[in-house]
Structure 1
């Protein structure tokens, strides 16, 4: 009984970390439309901007696995939190000086901290109880990850997207005094939120340094190599599934604001008192101003429903994967995601908007289910495999530039059709599992 209580307490504490990195990851997405206007970036360049965030998963995952094997899971979590805090602080000089390279460094550092947390927390939650319930546990933790992701777009719409960004021509027409005032206002819009996040994350690091977590994982240094893990078909197929899932989910989440503007959804919302009240109500709920609300802030509020779907789906998925084979649920969700994308690109207006937002609901179980299906039956190689699976999150940095350049070249239809291939592989991975 005392062991179960210890597991429950540890599960709750670790779930706060899932919430944290879900919130921060999507908040960074909310910053993308602002940076696109500030630096006048193409969609292809936006893909490379996001790559700085996701390439960190590739760079940090294996070192994070090695680090955790040396210092332990708790200290690894603390180091991850401190790295995230440092990444948040870097947004201060980046926004003050309006230097694109420093924004890239801030994205990279922040993602490095999140990577360390992921490598530690995902396998820890998976083994924090009976193996047959691992998928259900990880779906539940990931539901709180999605809760953070759901709140983040509203915070972003309220504080990062609500005001109009001037073009380089408009800035050139300002007086020196007005230009300095504008730059100060621009910097403040980014600095204040990220300084608060840096402080909160630092306090979490201090808190975790004093918490005792149960020792339930063996020393991963003695449990095989990454090469041994990759020789197993289940492992590299699962890693490829994570690669495509993250790429597709983030590609959609990163362009929703611009996709909705391309569909002229902002005009539909403005002309609908009901829809406009939803957008303004959500922004005001988080303390944002709706006076002279910019179009991207108006449609940005609806991005919340993409991540809300992921949260609701994970709570539902936690139950479904208890009573049905997780691989079967994963295959069905992958096929539905493809169908919704096709509906969106073959329709207009609100139908196109709500169908692409609904993809979030069916993204919900993909990460935790692919993760646990890949870890299933892998024994002491689990910590190594976790590092490889987290490394595959680099898919966000590879898929995004391809997607972005397709959008620049042929429009959103071509880009979104490309993402159906990603979901097709996920459905195939689920089908290929023997326990389907």
Structure 2
């Protein structure tokens, strides 16, 4: 009797298959992030807040990136890319579940706590998934790969507000006069009814995150541990990483880019509801958000192709200059022209994050993990810039407050043309770096 032949070990997935799986993560966190643009007008009405108070939503959400990026980098170094992605998805699911008790009370503080937990999970996903995509293949096409993954991120930001936004904003919002005339009991009942419209959507999203975590756990995607701190035999510190000028300016470029993109998206519903701009009801205005985020999606699909033929830095500078022109137009006009020029900015936001990210980590080798943590930490711009613009809007009006993101795009144009350039030594070192090795994750 012969013994059975030994089974061959299961093989890890190819790079294209791994990219496809991780791109689903980009889709999910893009959608979750864009729902903040729906929560802002909704909770602003529920809790009768001004713009600055409502922007605490973005401040809390993107503040998590600042606080949790370095811990996320430590998790990535210890667990590797695959396990870190699974942990990030599960933490985000816990945050989504917390929306249920926050709406049940209702409590603005608990909403903010739920957002912080949700964003902490997404922070770990960002720290792991952005460099992971760029490392899966030829370094020369890393800009294109990350743009393609970010295109699916933008698909999430396009679809979630369109399908989930109207569910959250379905109940009619009463004006300040009617709210002031309500008794305390009636006001509490009204706020509870309004707040509870987020419960079912976020429970469904929590379930989707858990399913996605289980799917990633079962798939044998490459670990690329050698490209994390595990492969850093010299043990460089964060100060060493920041000595690379293109990374240092890249961190600031990510800060202002995310700040500008999030700030514009955060104000869109209220801006389009302005009588001199669109005069739309908030539920109707939420249906225009997909034009902003959908423009980014279309631009990223186009950009993924363009970046295989056009210099990434030149294309980034061009898109930043066009965004400046569109903002100047929306600030100086009214009606349909002001409305559509601000929505069109999404198209030119498209390549900015992935192009800044890949130029900033260029040539860093085993320091890529630490560089990624610093770049993801810079997403805190999405907390700071909207809050600052909210304070400006309360003082000078929502339309003129767009001067702040305009200044952000001006810095991005400078970064593309000057700040992102590698020194001669860095360029020669980057050219000599071998492709990242891979092995299965156990």
Structure having the larger proportion of residues in helix? 1
The equivalent position to 1:11 in structure 2, one of 5, 14, 19, is: 19
The answer to whether the 8 Å contact 2:13/2:222 transfers is no
For 1:324, what is the secondary structure of its paired residue? coil
The answer to whether the 8 Å contact 2:92/2:122 transfers is yes
The answer to whether the 8 Å contact 1:34/1:160 transfers is yes
What is the aligned partner in structure 1 of residue 7 from structure 2?
none
| Large movers: runs of 4+ above 3 Å | 2-5, 166-185, 263-267
Structure 2 residue 68 is matched with structure 1 residue 56: no
- C-alpha distance in 2 between matches for 1:214 and 1:314: 25
The answer to whether the 8 Å contact 2:278/2:335 transfers is no
Structure 2 residue 241 is matched with structure 1 residue 229: yes
- C-alpha distance in 1 between matches for 2:407 and 2:220: 44
Query: What is the CA-CA distance between 1:31 and the residue it aligns to?
Result: 1.0
The equivalent position to 2:212 in structure 1, one of 200, 204, 220, is: 204
The answer to whether the 8 Å contact 1:38/1:166 transfers is no
Deviates further, 372-381 or 222-231: 222-231
Change in Cα spacing, 1:389 to 1:180, as seen in structure 2 (3 Å) is closer
- C-alpha distance in 2 between matches for 1:414 and 1:355: 14
Query: What is the CA-CA distance between 1:49 and the residue it aligns to?
Result: 2.5
Structure 2 residue 254 is matched with structure 1 residue 242: yes
Structure 2 residue 229 is matched with structure 1 residue 220: yes
Matches within 5 A, 1:75-90: 75-90=83-98
Q: 1:190-212, CA deviations, whole angstroms, 9 ceiling, x for partnerless residues?
A: 10100111111111112222221
The answer to whether the 8 Å contact 2:44/2:50 transfers is yes
Query: What is the CA-CA distance between 1:376 and the residue it aligns to?
Result: 1.2
- C-alpha distance in 2 between matches for 1:180 and 1:414: 35
Matches within 5 A, 1:292-371: 295-371=281-357
What is the aligned partner in structure 2 of residue 286 from structure 1?
none
The equivalent position to 2:169 in structure 1, one of 116, 138, 161, is: 161
The equivalent position to 1:37 in structure 2, one of 45, 49, 57, is: 45
The answer to whether the 8 Å contact 2:255/2:379 transfers is yes
Structure 2 residue 437 is matched with structure 1 residue 425: no
Query: What is the CA-CA distance between 1:222 and the residue it aligns to?
Result: 4.9
The answer to whether the 8 Å contact 1:162/1:296 transfers is no
For 1:32, what is the secondary structure of its paired residue? helix
Q: 1:224-273, CA deviations, whole angstroms, 9 ceiling, x for partnerless residues?
A: 22121112111110000000000000000001011111244554x6xxxx
For 2:14, what is the secondary structure of its paired residue? helix
Query: What is the CA-CA distance between 1:367 and the residue it aligns to?
Result: 0.2
- C-alpha distance in 2 between matches for 1:178 and 1:416: 37
The answer to whether the 8 Å contact 1:334/1:423 transfers is yes
For 1:163, what is the secondary structure of its paired residue? coil
The answer to whether the 8 Å contact 1:66/1:221 transfers is no
- C-alpha distance in 1 between matches for 2:295 and 2:105: 37
Query: What is the CA-CA distance between 1:185 and the residue it aligns to?
Result: 3.2
The answer to whether the 8 Å contact 1:265/1:299 transfers is no
The answer to whether the 8 Å contact 2:12/2:221 transfers is no
The equivalent position to 1:186 in structure 2, one of 169, 172, 194, is: 194
Q: CA RMSD in A?
A: 2.1
User: TM-score under structure 2 normalisation?
Assistant: 0.88
Matches within 5 A, 1:87-126: 87-126=95-134
Structure 2 residue 401 is matched with structure 1 residue 389: no
Q: Which has the larger radius of gyration?
A: 2
What is the aligned partner in structure 2 of residue 127 from structure 1?
135
Structure 1, unaligned runs of 5 or more? 270-294
- C-alpha distance in 2 between matches for 1:410 and 1:102: 31
For 2:241, what is the secondary structure of its paired residue? helix
Query: What is the CA-CA distance between 1:167 and the residue it aligns to?
Result: 5.5
- C-alpha distance in 1 between matches for 2:180 and 2:402: 36
Query: What is the CA-CA distance between 1:423 and the residue it aligns to?
Result: 0.2
Query: What is the CA-CA distance between 1:155 and the residue it aligns to?
Result: 2.3
Structure 2, unaligned runs of 5 or more? 1-9, 423-442
Aligned length: 409
Deviates further, 150-159 or 300-309: 150-159
- C-alpha distance in 1 between matches for 2:404 and 2:185: 47
Query: What is the CA-CA distance between 1:36 and the residue it aligns to?
Result: 0.5
Deviates further, 370-379 or 325-334: 370-379
Structure 2 residue 416 is matched with structure 1 residue 404: no
